[in-house]
Amino acid sequence: AKGSGKSGWRRYQSDLHTAMVQRLEMRTALHEAIEREQFVLQYQPIVELADQRVTGVEALVRWQHPSRGLLSPFFFVEAAEESGAIVGIGSWVIREALRQFARWRVGNPQTTLRYVSVNVSARQFRTVDFVDQIRRALDESGARPQWLLLEITESLVLRDAEKVLADLKALRAMGVRIAIDDFGTGYSSLSYLRQMPVDVLKLDKSFIDDILTSRQQHALVDAIVTLSHNLDLAVVAEGIEEVGQRAALDAMGCRYGQGYHFAKPLWPADIPALAVAPSAR
């Protein structure tokens, strides 16, 4: 039978060994990549649905691998989370995004950019000095706290709520805003979230995908948008790919959106030209 006998056991051991070696190699590679400054950021515009004005950008990390080329987070974020390398990577991401954003903003009053959104992994958020890290990064970059939006996940808010809650309050007292990323993929409810110091809901792409084809999905998103507004939460619809989705969300009163319909993640050099008033484009 499968897996029985000596050869099955050996195969199991050797698979396990391979997996361990791969994990170790990945871990070493990720730490080297930090030291060699191989991570880079792209920025995806977040727009006002009414007039397509670019109000913010989300920083998205990529690994500029010397032999494999530009790697998407799909290939390394999970491994980085497991090995703890995400703490170092994430700290760099915050510093780099704030440095870049301050360059776009300072001395440029006509820009439409109001904030940069940064993804924070649960492991990174739970480091003891996370709030201090943010404070230092803001000081170093000269960026205002209001320019920073931190994207966290529902599961982070649900687990060890005490410490997370205290840190979220401290960040908000500084002026930093908080978004719940991928809303709808987890188990939290809007009424629970309302007790949390949160400013923005990012509605997951899986919710947006079917709003034109499913009446139920349309009704659900409509209800979430209305309820969020009643709770003073701003809503960003993620993964808008079609003009019809943009129009439907706009008609629901959803104010912000992000997706390939507007722009893919872009290199920093391409952002300033987009961040001007729609009439000036």
| Site residues (vs Ca ion, CB under 5 A) | 119, 151, 181-182
198, two tokens: 């949160």
* Residue 152 found at the interface with ligand C2E (CB under 6 A): no
Helices (H), the chain: 5-35, 77-83, 85-105, 122-125, 130-141, 154-158, 161-174, 190-194, 205-208, 215-230, 243-252, 271-274
Q: Taking the complex as a whole, how short is the minimal distance between the CB of residue 159 and ligand C2E, in angstroms?
A: 16
The residues with which 13 forms a beta bridge, in sequence order, are none
Q: Taking the complex as a whole, how short is the minimal distance between the CB of residue 267 and ligand C2E, in angstroms?
A: 13
Contact criterion met (CB below 8 Å) for 191 and 198: no
Residue 210 has φ and ψ, to the nearest 5°, of: -105, 10
Using CB under 6 A, which of 30, 46, 57, 60 touches ligand C2E? 60
71, two tokens: 């790697």
* Distances in whole angstroms, Cα of residue 186 to Cα of each of 24, 118, 121, 162: 31, 20, 15, 19
Interface map 106-145 toward ligand C2E (x if CB under 6 A): -------------x-x------------------------
Q: Taking the complex as a whole, how short is the minimal distance between the CB of residue 114 and Ca ion, in angstroms?
A: 17
Contacted entry of Ca ion, ligand C2E, none for residue 187, CB cut-off 5 to 8 Å set by kind: none
Using CA atoms, how far apart are residues 200 and 183, in angstroms rounded to an integer? 10
Interface map 254-273 toward ligand C2E (x if CB under 6 A): ----xxx----x--------
Residues 6+ apart with CB under 8 A from 241: 259, 260, 261
Using CB under 6 A, which of 77, 98, 152, 248 touches ligand C2E? 77
Q: Taking the complex as a whole, how short is the minimal distance between the CB of residue 158 and Ca ion, in angstroms?
A: 17
Q: Taking the complex as a whole, how short is the minimal distance between the CB of residue 163 and Ca ion, in angstroms?
A: 22
- Nearer to ligand C2E (CB atom), residue 93 or residue 211: 93
* Helices 130-141, 161-174: inter-axial angle, 10-degree rounding: 20
Neighbours of 232 (CB within 10 A): 9
- Nearer to ligand C2E (CB atom), residue 90 or residue 268: 90
Hey, which residues between 182 and 211 contact ligand C2E (CB under 6 A)? 182
Using CA atoms, how far apart are residues 238 and 203, in angstroms rounded to an integer? 6
* Residue 241 found at the interface with ligand C2E (CB under 6 A): yes
Contacted entry of ligand C2E, Ca ion, none for residue 249, CB cut-off 5 to 8 Å set by kind: none
Residues 6+ apart with CB under 8 A from 230: none
Q: Taking the complex as a whole, how short is the minimal distance between the CB of residue 67 and ligand C2E, in angstroms?
A: 20
Residues engaged in binding ligand C2E (CB under 6 A): 44, 60-61, 72-74, 77, 86, 90, 93, 119, 121, 181-182, 239-241, 258-260, 265
